[in-house]
Amino acid sequence: MDTENLKIYLEIAKLRNISAAAKSLSMTQSTVSRRLQMLEDELHTRLVVRNRGVENITLTPAGEQLIPLCGQLLRMEKDMQEIGQHSKKHRLRIAVPDSIMSYKLKPFFRKLVEEKRDEGITLMMSDSIPISERVRDRQIDLGITNNIVPFAELRKEELFRETYVLVTPEKKDLQEGERIHMKTLDPSHEVYHIFSQDFNRWHNYWIHPGNEKARVNLAHVAIEFLTEEKDWTILPASVAEALVEERKGREELHMYALAPDVPERVAIAVTNRNAGPETARVTEEVISLLKGWLAEQQENKERKKHGRGFKGTEGDGPGVSVGSV
């Protein structure tokens, strides 16, 4: 199969217009139409429907099904072309959500990249939900996700757990051990950050979605929108501690424990059971190093505890409000 025809088809499918696809690809419209016909002939099925008098085309059911397959075939072609280029070293591809990479694990990955410079590490930010699928399709070798891992061909290993906490500019007068109940929060002041499926179900039980002040997908952006005293957001404890400490002296933010039954964020390392021996060896080594580093960090935090800060969470950030989980 001519992969060039697949590339042309993907452009047609994206733009839903043969003329626009031809312009985007710097080809003539007749060439694009001919290559599309070649692909349809090869597959023995129609991929698009050309409606008379209408410029835009419609994809047939077969055409819709072909889109993800095209992506997989083209990625495989790229991987095969790179085999010779990387025959002397295995470049490990790792995908991690921003809320884990930028706060909890940044020091580890900085160290890993330096120590594995000769082997090569490719780090990618990714939303948590699609990571398992990307590992299954071998687009990445190692993923870290806080979502359900639904595929049997994947191996999963828990890395750490932490709770979610409330972050707000509002200073609340609480007793030791007192928590903020979700039903007391004003939905119109929420800056909503989507995390795991478990978190979203819990959140949506107490706070009806659609009334929030803003909806974001980056933790540091959520903090930026806390412009009024009553504004609030919910973040993983490690993220909240880092962001509150980062803004100390510039703006006053407070962290509080939440009620009821706050779910834990569970970070899971995901690899493919069918990976080649070299990939399996390197991913196992990285996971082992990461678990050792996490254990060391936890031991250091336990030694540094002096009974101050936010109790009951994964860490004790200085200058935050007291409340136990």
CATH number for the domain formed by residue range(s) 92-159+265-304: 3.40.190.10
Residue 146 has pLDDT above 70, yes or no: yes
Under the phi-then-psi rule, with left for phi > 0, alpha for psi from -120 to 50, and beta for the rest, what region is 175?
A: beta
Structure tokens at 83: 């085999």
**Residue 84 pLDDT:** 52
Is-contact 236 313, C-beta < 8 A?
Answer: no
What is the average pLDDT value for the chain, to the nearest integer? 85
CATH entry 3.40.190.10 includes domain 162-264: yes
Question: What pLDDT score does 231 carry?
Answer: 96
pLDDT over 60 at 313, yes or no:
no
Mean pLDDT confidence for 131-156: 91
* CA proximity to 93, closest of 118, 120, 126: 120
pLDDT of residue 89: 56
Can 92-159+265-304 and 162-264 be said to share one CATH topology? yes
pLDDT band at residue 306 using 50, 70 and 90 as cut-offs? low
Q: How many CB atoms are closer than 10 A to CB 14?
A: 12
- Sign of the CA dihedral 196, 113, 293, 278? positive
For residues 207 and 190, give the distance between their C-alpha atoms in angstroms, rounded to a whole number: 9
Give the contacts of 288 (CB within 8 A, at least 6 positions apart). Answer: none
- Rounded distance, CA 299 to CA 295, Å? 6
pTM: 0.64
| pLDDT tens digits for range 67-112 | 988 888 887 777 665 555 454 456 789 999 988 988 899 999 999 9
Asked if the model's pLDDT at residue 322 lies above 60, the reply is no
CATH fold for the domain made of 3-85: Arc Repressor Mutant, subunit A (1.10.10)
Ranges 35-44, 178-187, 222-231, 288-297: which has the least confidence: 35-44
Three-state helix/strand/coil letters over the chain? CCHHHHHHHHHHHHHCCHHHHHHHCCCCHHHHHHHHHHHHHHHCCCCEEECCCCCCEEECHHHHHHHHHHHHHHHHHHHHHHHHHCCCCCCEEEEECHHHHCCCCHHHHHHHHHHCCCCCEEEEECCCCCHHHHHHCCCCCEEEECCCCCCCCEEEEEEEEEEEEEEECCCCCCCCCCCEEHHHCCHHHEEEECCCHHHHHHHHHHCCCCCCCEEECCHHHHHHCCCCCCCEEEEEHHHHHHHHHHCCCCCCCEEECEECCCCEEEEEEEEECCCCHHHHHHHHHHHHHHHHHHHHHHHHHHHHCCCCCCCCCCCCCCCCCCCCC
**CB contact at 8 A, 178 and 323:** yes
pLDDT at 278 over 50: yes
pLDDT at 324: 32
Average pLDDT rounded to a whole number, residues 6-22: 90
Q: Is the pLDDT of residue 182 over 50?
A: yes
Residue 245 has pLDDT above 80, yes or no: yes
**Amino acid present at 292:** G
Domain parsing of the chain, residue ranges? 3-85, 92-159+265-304, 162-264
pLDDT band at 162 (very low <50, low <70, confident <90, very high): very high
pLDDT at residue 250, rounded to an integer: 81
Least confident range of 90-99, 116-125, 199-208: 116-125
Please report the pLDDT score of residue 82 as a whole number: 57
Interacting residues of 271 by C-beta distance below 8 A, sequence separation 6+:
135, 141, 142, 143, 154, 155, 280, 283, 284, 287
